Structure formats: structure tokens, C-alpha cells
Amino acid sequence: MDLLWKERKRIWCGLPLTFTVYSYDNERFYVKSGFLNQRQDEVRLYRIQDLTVTRSLSQRIFGMGTILVNSSDKTLGDFEIKNIKNVMHVKEQLSALVEIQRDQKRVYTRENISGNSEADHDDYM
């Protein structure tokens, strides 16, 4: 598959001077890190459960942000896509791809939206 997005993690002032590269295609998100000893992890998009954007003051000044990813992947688990440009566009595009993959794979999450915690517990008196 062709990569839809690829960007290097940036340092505090927005320069791409690190050895961590983030990328994704239609089915997977990749994290490649390291210079001498390299490691590449991937998570299938349908395993991503939630995306949250955070932006510190310095990130806002330099036009960057961080995406917090909640996933059910065993090796990566929850992880951060740190210090990237156009963070809101990347998050929206990634979110749309996640929904497409979840629909194609017929993966659904159960959410307790009733808010009734008493219904979840049995009383033993």
C-alpha cells in the first residue's frame, strides 16, 4: 500500500531533527524509531479506539501538536504521535480511516452509555 501520510517527530522548536518517523496507509499506522538500532512498530487501524489532540503553549507557538492514541494493540498499546505539524488535519484523516477499517472489518466496541452503575452490580444481602 502507498503511504497516505509520513512525518518526522519534531523537536520543541518545530525542526524535524529526531529519528522517529510516523506514517500510515489505508490499513496500518507505523512508528519507526532509532538511528543505529532501528525499530518499526505497526498497529492495524481497526484496533485504534480513540484519538485525542493535546497542544502545549510551545506547540501552539510553533504550529504543532500531539495525538494521544488509545489502541488495543498488544505491542504498542496506548501511544503518542508527538510534535507533528497540521495535527488537527492528521487526526481527522486518521479518524476517518479508522472508521472505514472498523466498518470493513466489522469491529465494534461496547460502550456503557446508560450511566447506571447499579444495573452493573448484583446486590448480595
List, as own/partner pairs, every contact residues 36-41 make where C-beta atoms lie below 8 angstroms and the sequence separation is at least 24, other chains included: 41/75, 41/76
Distance CA 23, CA 51 (A): 16
| Per-domain boundaries in the chain | 5-106
Output the pLDDT for position 122. 46
Mean pLDDT of 19-28: 97
Output the pLDDT for position 53. 98
pLDDT digits (tens, 9 = 90+) for 27-74: 999 999 999 999 999 999 999 999 999 999 999 999 999 999 999 999
pLDDT digits (tens, 9 = 90+) for 78-112: 999 999 999 999 999 999 999 999 999 887 766 55
Torsion-angle region of residue 124: left (phi > 0), alpha (psi -120 to 50) or beta? beta
- Please, what CATH class does the domain formed by 5-106 belong to? mainly beta
